Amino acid sequence: MKGDHPLRQILNDEVHARPYELLSAPLRLEHYARLTDDVAGERALLAEVCTTHGLEVPPADATFLSLDLGDFRLRWERHTEFSTWTLIEPGPFDRPFSAILNALDTSWRERLPGERLVAIKLAIEPQGQAERSLVELGELFASNTVAGSRVTDGAADVWTDYQVHDDGFGWILVRDVDLRRRQAGRLVQRLFDMETYRMMALLGLPPAREHGRELVHLDGELADLTGQINALKDTGEERTLLEALTRLAARIEHVVSTTNARFSATHAYYGLIQRSIAQLRETRLPGLQTFDEFVERRLAPAVRTCESVAERLGVLSTRVSRASDLLRTRIDIGIAEQNRDLLASMDRRAQLQLRLQQTVEGLSIVVLSYYGVGLIGYLVKGVKQTGVPLNADLVTGIAVPVVIGLVFLGMRRLRRKFGP
């Protein structure tokens, strides 16, 4: 339609991107989240899978694919920092967490680019499945502490132990109570998102612990340096201290620059986890910790540690900037005082120079007048020798004040013409 914004269709399609899968129990899934920047390698592998199964090769800019590969489905999503791969195998099963797709050639799974951060096996048991007791859940999850709740307004029960088992996977069990297909797809996606975002959020904890210890030393150094400001005696000491503060500020800013993105991501992922938990609409199962309680007790302290370190870094950066500004102000005041003293000294020198100049000018008048009167005396004597009746001494005496006056006027005129 004429007059449409060029991004209208793209923006509208964005809210429909990455739709939920339509799932029906019984089925099992494997979900991987891998940290990688090799998006081209992922797309090449996807193109290979599509070609093998006679499907159209995905576009080069694809960030989401949901492929029907016959006996199973493959879902791939590209996120900012990671990619997720989900394999869906429908059909009945005896053991919820045994390997899936054993009869199929899925060797390409061993060539997924990047490092594996999350690997989950999730099984959805069909309606009519007997509810397991706490003892049976403990046996199923290898005697680990199990968290679980009734979700989606009572449409399903979910259990997990948040452990990595001997097969390298975390395990999640879902019992279908009254799930619709789309509802099951949303539930599975939220459970995968919760675990993926939990691990992504925890990536901020190791640098938080590392730099948290370093902050103690940096804070102590800053306290020592600021304590020296009042004891400074000269500009040399001030500049030495300012250089030390500058080096400290550079170290702090280096830590900030290397951790800011990670801590910001931790905060964002934690918010996504909280949103996913809220969307589960949990109700308690007797004797079990809910997902919200688990996250609040186990994950929230780690997130708060990251937030605390980020906040301390910001405060420390502000403090070192304030100390540097204070010291620069002190140095500027010292320089201003030196400039004031220098200007006063220059003013005194100028006054002395003026007096000396005036003295020299006075002596110059005397000297010039002396030579001028002498020349007049020689002139009068010469004229007298020609027979002109002149009193040489009288003429010379009368010439003295005249010559002095003329020399004085001449000097003053020159000073006005060429002087400042």
Domain positions in the chain are 20-184, 205-341, 359-418
Higher pLDDT, 104 or 372: 372
Which range is most confident: 102-106, 135-139, 279-283, 346-350? 279-283
Say if CB 65 and CB 127 are below 8 A apart: no
Distance CA 56, CA 47 (A): 8
Question: 3-state class of 20 per DSSP?
Answer: coil
Using the predicted structure, report yes or no on whether residue 389 has a pLDDT greater than 80.
no
Higher pLDDT, 178 or 8: 178
Say if CB 369 and CB 346 are below 8 A apart: no
**Percent of the chain surpassing pLDDT 90:** 50
| Average pLDDT of the segment spanning 382-400 | 75
pLDDT for the residue 335? 77
| Average pLDDT of the segment spanning 282-291 | 93
pLDDT for the residue 408? 75
Exposure string of 305-315, with b = 16+ CB inside 10 Å and e = fewer, is bbbebbebbee
Distance CA 26, CA 91 (A): 5
Report pLDDT digits (tens) over 1-53. Answer: 567 888 777 777 666 677 888 999 999 999 999 999 999 999 999 999 999 88
Distance CA 83, CA 5 (A): 31
Report pLDDT digits (tens) over 138-147. Answer: 889 988 889 9
Higher pLDDT, 166 or 358: 166
Going by C-alpha positions, the residue among 183, 1, 239, 192 that lies closest to residue 88 is 192
Using the predicted structure, report yes or no on whether residue 81 has a pLDDT greater than 90.
yes
CA atoms within 13 A on the CB side of 171: 22
- Considering the chain, what is the average pLDDT of its residues? 87
Say if CB 86 and CB 74 are below 8 A apart: yes
Going by C-alpha positions, the residue among 82, 81, 101, 83 that lies closest to residue 91 is 101
pLDDT for the residue 183? 95
Distance CA 380, CA 384 (A): 6
Query: Which of 58-67, 110-119, 285-294, 357-366 is predicted with the least confidence, judged by mean pLDDT?
Result: 357-366
Predicted confidence band of residue 91 (pLDDT cuts 50, 70, 90)? very high
Query: Which of 127-136, 193-202, 254-263, 367-376 is predicted with the least confidence, judged by mean pLDDT?
Result: 367-376
Report pLDDT digits (tens) over 392-415. Answer: 777 777 777 877 777 777 777 777
Report pLDDT digits (tens) over 145-165. Answer: 899 999 999 999 999 999 999
Report pLDDT digits (tens) over 223-239. Answer: 888 888 777 777 778 88
Question: Model's pTM, two decimal places?
Answer: 0.77
Q: Do the strands 147-151 and 283-284 form a parallel or antiparallel pair, or are they unpaired? A: antiparallel
Task: Output the DSSP codes for 266-287.
Answer: HHHHHHHHHHHHHHH--EEPTT
pLDDT for the residue 330? 76
Token digits for 366? Answer: 């005397």
Using the predicted structure, report yes or no on whether residue 273 has a pLDDT greater than 90.
yes
Higher pLDDT, 17 or 59: 59
pLDDT for the residue 420? 57
Using the predicted structure, report yes or no on whether residue 327 has a pLDDT greater than 60.
yes
Say if CB 134 and CB 287 are below 8 A apart: yes
Contacts of 218 (CB under 8 A, 6+ apart): 248, 251, 252, 255, 316
Task: Output the DSSP codes for 65-96.
Answer: EEEE-SSSEEEEEE-SSEEEEEEEEES--SST
